[in-house]
Amino acid sequence: MSFRMILNLVLSLFFLSSILVTARPTLSNAALLKRGLPPKPPLRRYNATATRHYLPKRSTDNNVYLRASPIVNTKRDLSEKEMKERAGTPFDTVSYLYFDTSTLHMGLTINPSDATPLYITGTGEEQDVSFVRQGITTFYIDTSYQGGKDFIGNMEPGIGFSIYFGISETATPIQYGTDNQVFIWTIPSTLPGSAGLTYHNIDRTKTTNAKFFVVTSSNPDTGSYSNVLGAALQQSDFSDYYTATAQQVDLTWVTSVYD
C-alpha cells in the first residue's frame, strides 16, 4: 500500500470519527447502543454515600378528629323540659370538635361536615394538637383558665377549678399553672382511642384524671358560650365560678367522622 493510500485512509477515519463525536450528543442512549456505540456519560454520577433529604408526608396523613359521646343522664336526673332542650345537641347526641370563629373557642357540633381536621405529630402524653385555618395559619389547641374559688392555678378537688379550650399561634413550652398550655393531650398509638389531658399545676404537679364536658355557660367576665368543650375533675366544678350547664362526654380520637 502506497504512502498516499495510507494517508487518505487515515484522513478518512479522522473525518468519520469527528462526525460521530459531533453527532453523538444529539443521539439518545438507545440510538447510540443500536449503532454499537457506548452510551453518553451521566450528567451526575450516583453517590451511594451522599445524604438525601426525603419529602415529608402530607399533613393529611396525620389528620384526625375528636368525637364526643355524651354520657347521657337518666330520666330521673333530668326534667322533661331539660330533656327537650338537650335533644339534638351535643348534650345528648354524638358530636365533633370544631373551631368556633364567633367565640374563638373549640366547640362541639353534631354536624360531621363541620368538624375541624386536626394534625398530630406524635403519640403518648403531653402532645400538641394543631389545625390550619384557611390554608395559611396554624393554630394550636390550648387550655384557657376559666376559674376556681381561690384562683390558685391547681386543678384539684374542692376548689371548683375548670377550663375550656381556645387557640394559640405558638406552641409554647410547658409552663406550670398558666393559661394557654399546649402540650396537654394524650394520644394513643392506635386509633380510634380515648383522649386524655395533662394539666400542669402551678405547684409543678400534674393532673391527669380530668374529665371532658360539653358546656353552655353565662359569665359576666368571659361572656356566654354554647356547646364548648371543657374539662374539670367533676361536673359541679363548672358551677362554682359561673352559671353553667355541663354534661360529661367520652372524648375519642378517630381518623374519620363517618366511621
Residue 53 in grid coordinates = 433529604
Angle at 236 between CA 232 and CA 237, to 5 degrees: 40
Lowest mean pLDDT among 19-28, 69-78, 105-114, 181-190: 19-28
Of the candidates 83, 88, 100, 117, the one whose C-alpha atom is nearest the C-alpha of residue 226 is 100
Q: Give the pLDDT confidence of 156-177 residue by residue, as tens digits.
A: 888 888 899 999 988 888 888 8
Ordered by start, the domain boundaries in the chain are: 1-53, 59-254
Helix, strand, or coil here: 16?
Answer: helix
The percentage of the chain sitting over the pLDDT mark of 90, rounded to a whole number, equals: 41
**Beta bridge pairs of residue 64:** 118
59-254 CATH: 2.80.10
* Start-to-end CA span in the chain (Å): 91
Helix, strand, or coil here: 238?
Answer: helix
Q: Give the pLDDT confidence of 216-245 residue by residue, as tens digits.
A: 887 656 567 889 999 999 988 887 556 678
